[in-house]
Amino acid sequence: MYCRSCGANIGENVSYCPQCGVKTGIGTTPTYVNENAKSRVVAGVLALFFGGLGIHNFYLGYNDKAVAQLLLSTIGLIILVGPLIAGIWAFVEAIQLFTGGIRYDAKGELLRD
C-alpha cells in the first residue's frame, strides 16, 4: 500500500504513514480521529444550505472547488444556470458527506462525524 499523501510504500494495514504521518483510513483509524478534525455533519449541513457558495469546501480546505462554486453562483448568474449547477454540485457533495463518500478534508485528515 502506498501513502496517498507522500507516495511512500508503507505496507498493509497501517493506520498512518510513518513517513509523513497522514492517516490511511485503514484499520484502527476511526478511533484515531482527531478531536479537532473537521466534522462531516457540519460540512454536510453547510453544503445543503450554503453549498452553492462553496462554503463547505472552504470549511474543508478544498479552496479550488469552493472558488469554482462561488464563481458559478455569482459570475455564473450571467449564464443563469450557473447557480443551479453550483447548487446541484453542492447537493451531491452534501449527500457524499452524509453517506461517507467524502471522508477527508483537503489535508487528508479523516473527518469526524
The footprint of Zn ion (CB under 5 A) covers 3, 5-6, 8, 17, 19-20, 22
Nearer to Zn ion, 8 or 45 (CB): 8
Q: Least Å distance between CB 23 and Zn ion? A: 10
Distance in Å, CB of 108 to Zn ion, minimum: 9
C-alpha cell of 20? Answer: 509523513
Measured CA to CA, the distance from residue 16 to residue 24 in angstroms comes to 5
CB-CB contact of 12 with 66 (8 Å): no
Distance separating alpha carbons of residues 38 and 41, to the nearest angstrom: 9
Helix axis angle for 82-99 and 63-74, nearest 10°, is: 140
Give the nearer residue to Zn ion in terms of CB position, either 10 or 94.
10
Residue closer to Zn ion, measured from CB, 93 or 109: 109
Shortest spacing between CB 18 and Zn ion, in angstroms: 8
**By C-beta, is 6 or 77 nearer to Zn ion?**
6
Q: Smallest gap, in angstroms, from Cβ of residue 80 to Zn ion? A: 44
The answer to whether the CB of 14 falls within 8 A of the CB of 5 is: no
**Cell matching residue 106:** 483537503
